Structure formats: C-alpha cells, structure tokens
Amino acid sequence: MNEPKNAAKEYLERQVQSASPVERVVLAYDGAIRFLLAARRAIDEGNIEVRFKNNKKAADIISYLMETLDMEQGGEVAERLQRLYFYMLRKLVEVDVKNSTEAIDDVIGHLKKLRASWEQLSRGGGASAQPAPKGEAGSADTDERAPVRISATA
C-alpha cells in the first residue's frame, strides 16, 4: 500500500533534483502552500496533531527559504524577502497558539504572490536570479540546497 506514496515521493525528488535553482524556489512555495492547506483542513476537522505537523513542515520550508537568501548579492530585495519570511513565521506561530485559519490564509496569500513572481522569473521575465557561488569546493549546480542569489534589474 505504500508503493504509490513512495512512487510519488521519488517523482518529487527527481523533479527537485532536475530543477533549476529558481524552479526549486517555486517548488518550495508549492510545498509550503500544500502543507498550509492541509493544516487549514485539519483545523476545520478539529485535528490538532495533523494541523501541527503540516504547519511545522510549512514553517521549515519558509525557514529554509530565508536561510538561503544571499543578503550581500540580493540587496534590498533579499532584505524585504527576509522581513516577509519573518512575518510569515510569526503568523505560523499564531496558527499553533490560536488555531487561526486567518493566519494561515494570510500566509498562503503571501506565498501565492511570491510563487507567481518566482514562476515568472523561471520563465525568463523580471529580475535576475542565479545560484550563489559555492567556492572552490564545488559549484552551485551540483549542490541540491544551493542558495539563490536575487537581484532586481531593470
């Protein structure tokens, strides 16, 4: 019975591994949104344990996105993203403390807007986004957790 679940997990892993750094950001937003929708359903169903697990997974993704910001190269855009990620993480604490569907909806709204922007970037429009250099040990292309450097260009 776990075979379809394992196949889906393997497919997702292959999708992430073959994605560009910008596409990985889009996939991260997709995951966070998916987990928050599951957390919202769990609140509606009164299932606190499922809500907590899904909310934590979404928070982990947002934390990862924040950790991978290149504050030097990303400049003001990275600073704004960092502030927004902090805000979203605070809202997710509110979800756990108050069982708040409003907080979930707020975070989902922000994630959907960010996802749309990054998807546009992945299609070649807007600002430039590229992996940050890894140094002499290896290139960003071989690191599956390669940070994305963002900078706004006209």
In a domain, residue 85? The reply is yes
Q: How much is the pLDDT for 123?
A: 84
What pLDDT shows up at residue 146? 44
pLDDT computed for residue 9 by the predictor = 61
Is 10 within the bounds of a domain?
A: no
Cα 45–Cα 61–Cα 52 angle in degrees, nearest 5: 25
**Residue 131: helix, strand or coil by DSSP?**
strand
Residue 149 lies in a domain: no
Does the reported pTM lie above 0.85?
no
CB count, 10 Å around CB of 79?
A: 12
Residue 126 located in a structural domain? no
Residue 10: Cβ within 10 Å count? 10
Count of domains forming the chain: 1
Q: Is residue 115 part of a domain?
A: yes
- 19 secondary structure, DSSP code: S
Domain CATH number, residue 63: 1.20.120.340
Predicted pLDDT of residue 12? 60
Residue 29 lies in a domain: yes
| pLDDT tens track for 80-107 | 999 999 999 999 999 999 999 999 999 9
d(CA 53, CA 58): 9
pLDDT score, position 21: 84
pLDDT tens, per residue, the chain with 154 residues = 567 777 766 666 666 676 788 899 999 999 999 999 999 999 999 999 999 999 999 999 999 999 999 999 999 999 999 999 999 999 999 999 999 999 999 999 999 999 999 999 888 765 544 444 333 333 333 344 444 444 444 3
Boundaries of domain holding 76: 20-121
Note whether residue 30 is domain-resident. Answer: yes
